Structure 1
């Protein structure tokens, strides 16, 4: 089994307020990590703050917090707070995010995503080390920011990275890379870009179900909504799925959602979503690890025969 075995919090079937018992169970089940997300559900930091209290000892990470929905100083403050609550156990995952999240939902500007991510990383490294930062970066300027209480040990920072340029930045200047929507074979291609010494983290969507047709029907919706986002479309072009996904993209652009879903081949769904009985799912996750993934972060999705709570228990590495 992998040295790291992560779980996504909060869970898809319940709010954070009803997650305490299951989060508290994660360490004894053998999970080493709990990773939040930040889209339009819970924010990226509060679940980790609660998990720091509910599941002492577990590593906590954000996968990911966008760099353009908060100011750089506020990002540093939130990261410092978590680093204080969970010393040496908090990992700050940041990334460019997408135009929908940054602009349409948060009234921000999705400009120069690579440069903004790089500049934010460089600022955070200085700020979290306790330095007073006055610097003009390509995408913003900081004048005299200093954390009132810098963490005794600055947290590690990892970057959401899909294609070579961001992967190279993650390897050169951050402590790791976060990716998702990829197959075990794709892990090799991503790993080749970052070399051996860089931690590679990926969120893996898992549906514990032996009803493959039902899983595929549900998964097609998830895939279509993600893979039509330009950054993911470009990622899958780079991974070599441009041709096989073209009919989906064309139907989606024409506004024909049913045709777009129908155009996603079964083998693409099966490559990108982990499904089957618990043992099959665990073996599939291990394939990702064997191909170079350091930290699988499981995201059990509803729709299988077993509840999410049961899936969390049955996907645990200790079984």
Structure 2
């Protein structure tokens, strides 16, 4: 149970020149938000916007939610993370994730199988890089170092630059129970995309059993302050329509799977079938209001205050709010969450 919640701002993907959230990030820093997070899929990367915002702030922590492990070798991610952490005075929170087969194989041209083994190996190598105790080697199946073959001239190397921190906080973006258990075992935190606070212990209790006392469950939560609850719920449903219906293959959609584990398996199957058939309005209408409401914080201040109690009673320790785009909204959410 997390009666004292931490608070962060999740900006999602950077899309275009006009999507410069510097003023919003600076406002979040002034208001006491602990962190700001950016994401990547197959558009903008996650690190570059954080470097931009990090150069314009001084205290707020900078999180990736998440960088995709197939996009970079573990050494490349470790180098980028070390550099950004150094330049921002030790403010980086590194969230990584395996993504899904459509992106991994269709965009990065890498094999998707064995994502848990790949993630474990990836993390081990990054930590060896940061600790800088000896030249980095790995006899793993997925990222062997030195590379066995090629010119046969590979040499174990040690990071030239001394890291500011030998241990950068590491989070895993995970949805399946085995992946969540891996996060609890090897990471400092977990970045769940959809959380139904009343159901998280039933869904993931055994997976989280190996987590330490400081393990941070940083949940991404759509948060909208408005008197028009109907419009706010429809906004959440639009997001769910895309993720359940189109963010994954018909035979393997991790987002649809998690909705199923929440108790909405039939709805998830119907939503995906309608979406893939091009009947997107019907897919939208098939999303239960109860589901959209359960994973979000929307409505008037009093309604959000009441629903926040469900999050305080859950294992979630950190709310990464998505949706607020002005300082007044950030202030109101700050007051509600942090008191």
Alignment match, 1:181: 194
Query: For 1:203, which of 206, 220, 233 is the aligned residue?
Result: 220
The alpha-carbon deviation at position 15 of structure 1 amounts to 4.8
Shifted more, 217-226 versus 170-179: the winner is: 217-226
After superposition, the C-alpha distances for 1:152-191 in whole angstroms (9 at most, x for unaligned) are: 3220111112122111111111111110112111332335
| CA pair 66-213 structure 1, distance change in 2 beyond 3 A | same
Query: For 2:41, which of 39, 44, 48 is the aligned residue?
Result: 39
Residue 267 in structure 1 maps to residue 290 in structure 2: yes
**Deviating 4+ runs (over 4 angstroms):** 10-17
The alpha-carbon deviation at position 221 of structure 1 amounts to 2.2
Contact 1:289-1:296 within 8 A present in 2 as well: no
Alignment match, 2:268: 245
TM-score by length of 1: 0.87
Contact 1:127-1:145 within 8 A present in 2 as well: no
Shifted more, 245-254 versus 53-62: the winner is: 245-254
Aligned positions, number: 314
| CA pair 127-282 structure 1, distance change in 2 beyond 3 A | farther
CA distance in 1, matches of 2:107, 2:192: 23
The RMSD of aligned alpha carbons is 2.6
CA distance in 2, matches of 1:24, 1:133: 38
Query: For 2:241, which of 215, 224, 237 is the aligned residue?
Result: 224
The alpha-carbon deviation at position 5 of structure 1 amounts to 0.4
Residue 134 in structure 1 maps to residue 137 in structure 2: yes
Alignment of 1:39-118 (within 5 A): 39-40=41-42, 42-118=44-120
Alignment match, 1:304: none
Contact 1:187-1:288 within 8 A present in 2 as well: no
The alpha-carbon deviation at position 308 of structure 1 amounts to 4.1
CA distance in 2, matches of 1:284, 1:59: 26
| CA pair 104-17 structure 1, distance change in 2 beyond 3 A | same
TM-score by length of 2: 0.82
Contact 2:15-2:43 within 8 A present in 1 as well: no
The alpha-carbon deviation at position 16 of structure 1 amounts to 7.6
CA distance in 2, matches of 1:2, 1:171: 20
CA distance in 2, matches of 1:86, 1:269: 36
| CA pair 254-115 structure 1, distance change in 2 beyond 3 A | same
Structure 1 unaligned residues grouped into runs of 5+: 302-306
Structure 2 unaligned residues grouped into runs of 5+: 147-155
CA distance in 2, matches of 1:254, 1:316: 42
| CA pair 178-10 structure 1, distance change in 2 beyond 3 A | closer
Alignment match, 1:315: 333
Contact 2:13-2:46 within 8 A present in 1 as well: no
Query: For 1:296, which of 301, 313, 319 is the aligned residue?
Result: 319
Alignment match, 2:178: 165
Contact 1:62-1:94 within 8 A present in 2 as well: yes
After superposition, the C-alpha distances for 1:174-231 in whole angstroms (9 at most, x for unaligned) are: 1111101121113323355213622111111123222223223332221021123311
Shifted more, 256-265 versus 40-49: the winner is: 40-49
2:240 aligns to what SS in structure 1?
A: helix
CA distance in 1, matches of 2:303, 2:44: 30
Query: For 2:299, which of 276, 284, 289 is the aligned residue?
Result: 276
Contact 1:13-1:308 within 8 A present in 2 as well: no
Contact 1:200-1:294 within 8 A present in 2 as well: yes
Q: Which structure: larger Rg?
A: 2
